[in-house]
Amino acid sequence: MAENTKYIFVTGGVLSSLGKGLASAAIGMLLESRGLSVTIQKLDPYINVDPGTMNPFQHGEVYVTDDGTETDLDLGHYERFTNAKLGKDNNFTTGKIYHQVITKERRGEYLGGTVQVIPHITDEIKQSICLVANATDVVIVEIGGTIGDIESLPFLEAIRQFKADVGASNVIYIHLTLVPYIKTACEVKTKPTQHSVKELRSIGIQPDILLCRTESFLSQDIKKKIALFCNVEPEAVFTAKDVDCIYEVPLVYNKEGLGDVILKKLNIWARAPRLDEWREMVEKFKNPRFSVTIAIVGKYVDLTESYKSLNEALTHGGISNEAKVNLQFVDSTTLTRENVDKVMSTCNGILVPGGFGSRGIEGKILAAKYARENKIPYFGICLGMQMAVIEIARNLAGLEDANGEEFNPHTPHPVIYLMKEWVDEQTQQVEKRDETSDKGGTMRLGAYPCMLEPDTFAHKAYKTEAISERHRHRYEFNNEYKDRLVKAGLIISGSSPDHELVEIVELKDHPWFLGCQFHPEFKSKPRDPHPLFREFIKASLKNARE
């Protein structure tokens, strides 16, 4: 545990999806703007060890860090809003905590004692929090779930104890709650907040700061009423107002004076916030000069949380081009030769994102074909790259039955296949896998190097020869078909340093057609848009004007 490190614990009440992740990220951004170093951790109450095998419909996207950890999507918010470098120690679940405790018990580390929630589980949780402290000024810890849920109790007990462990002057609790506006009565109601804080206090945690999620700024009278019933100072009650753009959240908090109160309660001296660059970015988002429509062809389109990082990266690309990006979600299972012209007629660019499984595959291949034939900018990410390769193999290279082994294990032309043996660049160990391997343990995960070819879309975007990007996939480009596909017009513009793994493909004689095996959306930030998203939006804008 680092000396002089301060800790902020963020909890949520009343109902889920209030925005604890965004609140934590925004607080981190505000503290960084004052010159402080920050890291953010998410403690999730579900029993899965990680979200890697969870359906996106249930949990939203799986975010991947540089070290290859599959994490909660809130870590994406943390990295987009701050400069924090996150990894395996920044996301712990109930499953991960219990797994570690049970492993220790099996090894006999508890010396035959009875293993219990208190102190063993709570001690493990506290140790997980200490792992991310290092030399960081402030550690922000978001507790998943809602106050009152039985699943969250061990985490809440652990953070209650934590204050006594590190000293009361080093810890504050921030509680995000809901203050609904009842339209028929024309007034806001504070009772949900009162009950939520009462529940929190009943387990021994007194919040120091309240963030009240509501539609408009709260009056001083309402803040005083909340303060009175929740046992906090009126100046520690803040409006977490709904905003049009999530990147406005830190600006709203700053306007309310949240940063000043946090520093005061933690006894930290720091400079005034420097937010000019952030304000300029938000201004570009809110007042775009241009407009562009991007079709996202996938199978999780009914729940946009499934593509959270992707949607944000497209927004970042729009900001850098002073353009509003309109997203047109297309269910790939409904796309056919008969309706593709009608469905795609209004889009300026086509993006096929990552995914798993065979459902909707032919629709995605059809989208890649439509983009190629109609000279519409195309961006294929992970599975989207594989769809483009299959389409080119079938329609340009003469391999009519070409497919990927994931979708048809018996295809005569597996242009995308399961690599049975490969060297992990990070550990230098030989990894082996086959169709029966565990789904969560056989993927290429995390950051891998890639070398770019000159005079390609990729090289022009990155403006460098060597890059590193994050991966999350099982199947690879089959090098046995490389020469035939290249002869048909495919360009291999990015490969692993040993040229064994194809990372980026492009097409000749096309305004902008690119597929990458990695997930560039995981490294995009609003103030530093990812080069590929920036160039994809630029090409789509050009297409919109023509």
Tokens of 278: 């952030």
In the residue annotation, 521 being an active-site residue is answered as yes
Residue pair 180/192 in contact (Cβ under 8 Å)? The answer is yes
Choose the catalytic residue: 382, 405, 406, 469. Answer: 382
Among 142, 521, 530, 535, the active-site one is 521
Tokens standing for residue 122 = 């709570």
> Partners of 379 in the beta sheet?
351, 514
Tokens standing for residue 268: 């930290």
Amino acid at position 46, single letter: Y
Map residue 7 onto helix, strand or coil: strand
Cα three-residue angle 418-364-534, rounded to 5 degrees: 95
Instruction: Say how far apart CA 293 and CA 324 lie, in whole Å.
Output: 8
Distance CA 124, CA 135 (A): 21
Name the maximum alpha-carbon separation found in the chain.
Answer: 75
In the structure encoding, which two tokens stand for residue 208, read together? 């120091």
Beta bridge partners of 295: 328, 350
Could you count the other beta carbons within 10 Å of the beta carbon of residue 242?
13
CA 229 from centroid of its chain's CA atoms:
36
Q: State the DSSP H helix or E strand holding residue 63, giving kind and residue range, or none if neither.
A: strand 63-64
3-state secondary structure at position 320:
helix
Pairing of strands 91-93, 38-44: parallel
Q: Catalytic pick from 175, 519, 530, 535? A: 519
Is residue 382 part of the annotated active site? The answer reads yes
The residues annotated as belonging to the active site are 382, 519, 521
